[in-house]
A and B are shown apart, each in its own frame.
Chain A
Amino acid sequence: MGERSVLVIGGGVAGMQAAFDLAEAGIKVFLVERTLSIGGRMAQLDKTFPTNDCAICILAPKMMDCYRHGNIEVLTFSEVISVEGEVDSFNVKILRNPRFIDEEICNGCGDCAKVCPMGILNKFDMDLRVRGGAYIPFLQAVPLIYALDREKCMRCGLCKVVCGKDAIQYDQRPEIVEMTVSAIIVATGFDALDPSSITEYGYGRYENVITALEFERLICAAGPTGGHVMGKDGKEVKSIAWIQCVGARDMRDNRPYCCSVCCMHATKEAILTKEHYPEVETYIFYTDLRCFGKGFQEYVNRAKDDYGVEYIRGKPGEIREKEDTNLEIFYSPSSDKVERLEVEMVVLCTALIPSEGVEALAGVLGVELDEYKFFKLKDPYNFTETTRDGIFVAGYCQAPRDIPECIAHGSAAASRAMEVVLGGNRNHEKSQ
């Protein structure tokens, strides 16, 4: 069999934890990440609940630990395109997309980005900031290797001129890497739902209706506005309302599940706002406050009592933009009459849905998804086992959960994968 190893798909917090645990146990891990950097969704967050710890400050050391670990090989900008064989010997093909910059040579100096004349919206910053055609998605990106956006760049050739290391390779081609692994862990995480289809809230039509992840970038000191919460006109806003369960707990589009984090992240975002600007009015429209975790209820109590965040029960039925771009929210708190609230910004806590491309991946892996496209479990008592032997699942791609739960799930999946790799009595059992 040779070297026994595990493939981890997805370099978010759950995938990194799984990879790290396996590596520490002496098992070789291939960590495959679709984007340019590991870190996942947590890297996009400003702070975490319920402790208000800086997200990237916790995450960055973990990212480095993973990347530098002797037993972990990180393959960024890569996708799994084929899996054959079965448990103990999966033959995996991985597509490595070209960065057009030599990974071995680039030292991350950023000279190419400095001279690049292009302005392209940065997906990591929820399209709120412009990056160059030569770029890293964010400052703390791991690995610190630049990439060229050849689709959008105008191919002026400046980057090649300035690169002191001569790392620019315009003729780089996609590459397919093959490997044999004993087990696979899927940790592909989530995407935030685009709320444009929920037309009553006017996302995409009204200037100052934004999503919670966009707000997360706005309030982040390293974000596009340096932590200033401002509307599209560049003025700092004086009142903000959060609306929860936007697209979640919604039978209209078959998404009746609770996303499990938006009660808390709305609370967090309101507290952060109050810490930055105590005078800003903050309102949270909730359906049911689901503060089930350790310290969650206390966190909400603090938001109410110490910070003066106002919680209003009810789902608004409509938002209207006024001429001065202020937003008028219609809601009915006690089912008796319609109330109106005027604010300058509305933050939609959108449903979190399994990542784009998860169906194709499930096809490649030969595992089943449930009706909401979360990875299906073989049985409810083995909560990391997918419907195929030797393929495990960790994090939000299996079911809604918060960061600590994703980390725990990552560790759990790693320990099950270890059984496959180290146990070695599987084939023995079968032959009996």
Chain B
Amino acid sequence: MKSEKFIKTAVKREKENVSVISDIINRTKAYYCVECGKCTSACPLSRFGDYSPDRMVERALLGLSVKPDLRIWSCLTCNRCKELCTYGVQYPEFIRELRSLALEERERGICAHGEIFSVMKLLALPHENPQKRLYWLSEEMKVQEKGDILYFTGCLPYFDIVFRDLEVHTVEIARSTVKILNKLGIAPVVMNDEVCCGHDLFWSGDTGTFKRLAYINIQNIMSRGVKKVIFSCPEGYRTFKLDYPEFFDLDFELIHISEFLSERIEEGKLELKPLPGLRGRGAEPHSRTDETVTYHDPCRLGRHLGVYDAPRRVITEIARNFVEMASTRENSLCCGTSGWTNCDSFCEEIRRERLRECINTGAKIMITSCPKCLIHFKCHMSNRKGEYDIEIVPFEVFVARAMGLV
């Protein structure tokens, strides 16, 4: 009897899931798929590994199970397929909702860094013992507790510690941003009680925790009377701009630092000079070089939000020799991993290809505005010492250097 009952519930659950999958298909317009294979032929993962977005959709449309397929955790959600799909299938959202479904059944992706990042989300929740999130601030930086403009730091202080061995120095991004804003006469609000924006949780399917984090962040920001939030992290920017409004009403403006700076340049309020000695700290700081520079579009800032011109506007003001890589803007190659899951040899191949594209341009500096792109490329390069003669520079650090701030 007992086993019979169990089977019934199992069947019932299976049915429920089927209806949920059909809801996902409806919501993400997966039913428009004509299996033309355009997504697969451009997907960075399928180029190097065994992955096919339209086969996943096809399975779902045929009513076959898509859950046991670990591949739902492989997708980079880089939006390349969504950008190319002429039929309007929202594949990244399709995957995100499938992950939600899988998570309910306690299936999850393989975290490429042990469990550090699942601990991090707990660290990012409010604690009895307040954390020292703002350890990176120094005396000369002007910040406020309340004000019009807030700088959302994101995970930078955590990454700096977790990836210390890669020498990514992600807090330099935060420091540079504050220094640039100070130079423009702005003392931004920074919050010690800021919590994780929830991007990785949301894209791993954990919508519940994501909503809690979003609520805390919005409360904290609103209580400070903030009118404008500036981001240096494209993931945080995307999450605030596209995902928070799904659940909450925001009454403050959102802007990426590259957009903010490009506006100031247009207004004539920011003058950047071509940079003497573009290469890293210590390397011939005073001799004028015309180092070739290129820019890597992070998927969140580029394809997800369509911000392509603003960073280029700022960079070309500084670097006289700006070149584009073979794949650029909406056709950009991804950095190879998202949400810290399923990093494998195929992802390494994507990074290798992207860095090769950079080398082929003759550029010695690749600028990116995403800390995760920075981490992923640096990780790839650190395992292949001497193979790459290029430097990956965060956008904010690049600008701060040009302004003589670091």
Chain A positions within 8 Å of B, measured between CB atoms, are 199-200, 245, 249-252, 287-288, 313-318, 320, 330-339
Query: Which residue of chain B is the closest to A286 with respect to CB atoms?
Result: B36
Query: Given A200-B331, A335-B58, are A318 and B87 neighbors across the interface (CB < 8 Å)?
Result: no
The interface bits of chain B over 36-53 (1 if a CB of A lies within 8 angstroms of the residue's CB, else 0) are: 111111110011001010
B41–A330 CB distance below 8 A: yes
B331–A318 CB distance below 8 A: yes
B41–A252 CB distance below 8 A: no
B38–A316 CB distance below 8 A: yes
B147 CB–A CB distance under 8 Å: no
Chain A neighbourhood of B37, CB < 8 A: 313-315, 317, 331-335
A315–B36 CB distance below 8 A: yes
B321 CB–A CB distance under 8 Å: no
B120 CB–A CB distance under 8 Å: no
A207 to chain B, nearest CB (A): 15
Chain A neighbourhood of B42, CB < 8 A: 200, 317-318, 330
A32 to B331, CA, bound (A): 44
List B244-302 residues whose CB lies under 8 Å from chain A: none
Chain B neighbourhood of A338, CB < 8 A: 40-41, 46-47
A317–B84 CB distance below 8 A: yes
A255 to chain B, nearest CB (A): 9
| Contact residues on B (Cβ < 8 Å of other chain), bracket | 20 to 34
List B19-41 residues whose CB lies under 8 Å from chain A: 32, 34-41
**Among the listed A199, A245, A249, A334, which residue makes an inter-chain contact with B331, where contact means beta carbons less than 8 Å apart?**
A199
B38–A335 CB distance below 8 A: no
Query: Which residue of chain A is the closest to B47 with respect to CB atoms?
Result: A338
Chain B neighbourhood of A330, CB < 8 A: 41-42, 47
Chain B neighbourhood of A252, CB < 8 A: 85-86, 88
B84 to chain A, nearest CB (A): 6
A337–B331 CB distance below 8 A: no
Chain A neighbourhood of B46, CB < 8 A: 332, 337-338
A335–B52 CB distance below 8 A: yes
Chain A neighbourhood of B34, CB < 8 A: 287-288
Chain B neighbourhood of A314, CB < 8 A: 36-38, 41
B54–A335 CB distance below 8 A: yes
A331–B41 CB distance below 8 A: yes
A199–B58 CB distance below 8 A: no
A249–B87 CB distance below 8 A: yes
A49 to B234, CA, bound (A): 51
**Among the listed A199, A288, A317, which residue makes an inter-chain contact with B330, where contact means beta carbons less than 8 Å apart?**
A199
Return 23 A-B CB contacts under 8 Å, by A number.
Answer: A200-B84, A249-B86, A251-B85, A251-B87, A252-B88, A288-B34, A313-B37, A314-B36, A314-B37, A314-B41, A315-B36, A315-B86, A317-B43, A318-B41, A330-B47, A331-B41, A332-B54, A334-B37, A335-B35, A335-B55, A335-B58, A336-B55, A337-B50
Query: Which residue of chain A is the closest to B50 with respect to CB atoms?
Result: A337
